Amino acid sequence: MSIVKKCLFPAAGYGTRFLPATKAIPKEMLPVLTKPLLQYGVEEAIEAGLNTMAIVTGRGKRSIEDHFDISYELEHQIKGTAKESYLTEIRNVINACTFSYTRQVEMKGLGHAILTGETLIGNEPFAVVLADDLCDNKTDGVLSQMVKLYEKYKCCVVAVEEISPEDSNKYGVIAGDTIADEKYAKGSLVRVNDMVEKPDPKDAPSNLAIIGRYILTPDIFDVLRETKPGKAGEIQITDALLEMAKIGKVIAYKFDGTRFDCGSVDGFVQATNYFYEKGDK
């Protein structure tokens, strides 16, 4: 069993980029083929050895709780028919882990959402998955790769990928010094010493952007409590992590795998085509 057991899913956002679809349906429940985005994230966490899912929801998100639960009427209706197999995957998910929920009452940013989840996490290292970053791998999932790194380095880990310079204002961008580790490809591990939330291209410290996978140590909660609103007037996890980076406690990892930005319509369509071609129907 992994020493990281809990995974936090911030899922309180409005999903305005997908209106009107997200007026009554949480964006995390939008399906890529037949599976909601959030279920892909939960499956990635289970694959990484995590068994406790902590979901930060908000108003209008009740369908998330219903999804990760038994629907007796539906089970009864399709029991013994060919359609029963459609529920196999979600049943396996429900059996493999527990789910707990807390509500973010005010939307004050990703850092605030993570701090809201403290009540579900307590005093242990935990993963954070932003479900609209959908990742796929031929072998180990991204979170699984990151948990291994955590087990070795025992500090915060953020997943990064190279972006075009003009996209820097969509991401947290990091900079730092390469860590030499014979187990990892040259340049794939960086000891972070700077990070900026959504900088203009001219101010970006590098072309390495954070994607929605983090392993955090619980001392991040104390830092978040002291973090002032930053970009867009919101409490940013990037700003809190910068404080940890200043004392050498953040590693950035260029992960193996494919990632889709399902927070945008283009990325969502690419993910749908990719999984369709792959045969995950």
- Please check whether residue 75 is in contact with residue 18, taking contact to mean a CB–CB distance below 8 angstroms: no
Tokens of 79: 């029991």
Contact positions toward ligand G1P, by CB under 6 A?
Answer: 110, 130, 133, 171-172, 197, 209-212, 236, 238, 263
Residue 155 or 173 with smaller CB distance to ligand G1P: 173
- Please check whether residue 207 is in contact with residue 249, taking contact to mean a CB–CB distance below 8 angstroms: no
- What one-character-per-residue DSSP string does 153-168 give? H-SEEEEEEE--GGGG
Residue 39 or 236 with smaller CB distance to ligand G1P: 236
Residue 36 or 230 with smaller CB distance to ligand G1P: 230
Minimum Å gap between C-beta 201 and ligand G1P is: 15
Minimum Å gap between C-beta 166 and ligand G1P is: 15
Minimum Å gap between C-beta 172 and ligand G1P is: 3
Peptide bond into 20 cis (omega under 30): yes
- Please check whether residue 141 is in contact with residue 44, taking contact to mean a CB–CB distance below 8 angstroms: yes
Minimum Å gap between C-beta 180 and ligand G1P is: 26
Residue 227 or 236 with smaller CB distance to ligand G1P: 236
Residue 90 or 113 with smaller CB distance to ligand G1P: 113
Contacts of 245 (CB under 8 A, 6+ apart): 174, 176, 192, 193, 194, 195
Minimum Å gap between C-beta 133 and ligand G1P is: 5
